[in-house]
Amino acid sequence: MTTTANPVNPVLRTPPASPAAAAAYFSASLAFHADVSDVASALADARATGGDPGFVVIDSRSTASWDQGHVPGAVHLPTALIPEQAEQLLDKSVPVVTYCWGPGCNGATRAALALAERGFQVKEMLGGFEYWVREGFAYETWEGSAKKDADPLTAAVDDEDCGC
């Protein structure tokens, strides 16, 4: 009798991690990252109650990019200026959330690294400014406030809560 081994598909070619290793990895990931919807929700709740979200948002892009559009209330601190300006602009006891253009840009990662090396608690906002806009959140430009409809491929359009 001849037996044929079933080829392993690309998903399982490398087997999944153990549940304990997966829990450690995903827990660590959440310690390093925040998503656009969570940042927007925390900022909105703080505005609505007159409270403090407990973190500061940093836009690490150029001035031209900042002028094109940025998260309301964000602090503009380009990555190249972090060494000379971070300690004057930020309080080390307040966590920082960095962002740049979007998933195809690692500027927020570089900014987060520069801040962490200087003793700041930091998270990176996944999706960056691109997903902030695509999920339908208001933003500011040099001309004033702006907002686009949510992209149905990135956000729930009929509900504020995606269920994530």
The predicted-structure confidence for 9-27, as pLDDT tens digits, reads as follows 999 999 999 999 999 999 9
Provide the token pair at 155.
């956000």
CA atoms of 44 and 159, how far apart (whole Å): 16
pLDDT band at residue 162 under the 50/70/90 scheme: low
What pLDDT, on the 0 to 100 scale, is given for residue 54?
97
Enter the pTM of the model.
0.89
Is 67's pLDDT higher than 70? yes
Torsion of CA 103, 42, 50, 75, to 10 degrees: -20
Of 150, 153, 118, 117, the closest CA to residue 134 belongs to 150
Distances (CA, A) of 85 to 22, 80, 89: 38, 10, 6
73-131 pLDDT, tens digit each: 999 999 999 999 999 999 999 999 999 999 999 999 999 999 999 999 999 999 999 99
CA atoms of 125 and 24, how far apart (whole Å): 20
Q: What is the DSSP letter of 95?
A: -
Of 23, 116, 128, the closest CA to residue 70 belongs to 128
What is the DSSP track for 101-115? S-TT--HHHHHHHHH
- Answer for the pair 78, 63: CB distance below 8 angstroms, yes or no: yes
Strands 33-35, 122-126: pairing is: parallel
In this structure, how many other beta carbons lie within 10 angstroms of the beta carbon of residue 108? 29
